Amino acid sequence: MTRRIWHAEGWTIGQWQFYEIDGRQLTESYAGRKLFGFTAASDEATADQCGEWYNTLEHAMAAAIAEKYTGARGSGGTGVGTAADWFMRMIGADQLVAADNGRTALGEVLSATEKHNGPIYRRASAMEDELERRGLVLARQNHA
């Protein structure tokens, strides 16, 4: 078995080793995307031992915790995928997408909804609809 060692940032947290890679290491179509994975922490652990890669560090952490209590995802689809993915969907973590250029997108949305001028709720509703049409959502950051 050939073992490839990827360039990865890594952090040990508790019993896990988390990694951040450039998606290009998986395939060119993921180039420029940061992906996160985890393994059990050990001196021999490497990023190429990660079974799955996630869009956020938070999702990788949720998957690690779910795997601890429900077992690794099996070929039947049960286990960690069910628990971690359900949790991330439940809290809306994977529904947020980064805008390529937020200020440009906002200007375009304002222009596209100009005809809905009048009561503020009508314009706000039109803006939300236009953002959703573009694949963007309004989000609130919760700070501790």
Contact status, residue 7 vs residue 14, Cβ threshold 8 Å: no
Q: Is the pTM of this model over 0.75?
A: no
Within-domain flag for 46: yes
- Given this model, what pLDDT does residue 1 score? 40
Same domain membership, residue 125 and residue 89 = no
65-87: b (≥16 Cβ within 10 Å) or e: bbbeeeeebeeeeebbbebbbee
* Mean pLDDT in order along the chain per 10 residues (144 residues): 63 91 81 87 84 87 88 66 79 66 76 84 85 70 52
Same domain membership, residue 117 and residue 70 = no
Same domain membership, residue 91 and residue 24 = yes
d(CA 106, CA 128): 11
Same domain membership, residue 104 and residue 81 = no
Q: How many CB atoms lie within 10 A of CB 18?
A: 22
Quote the domain boundaries for residue 122: 96-144
Same domain membership, residue 100 and residue 61 = no
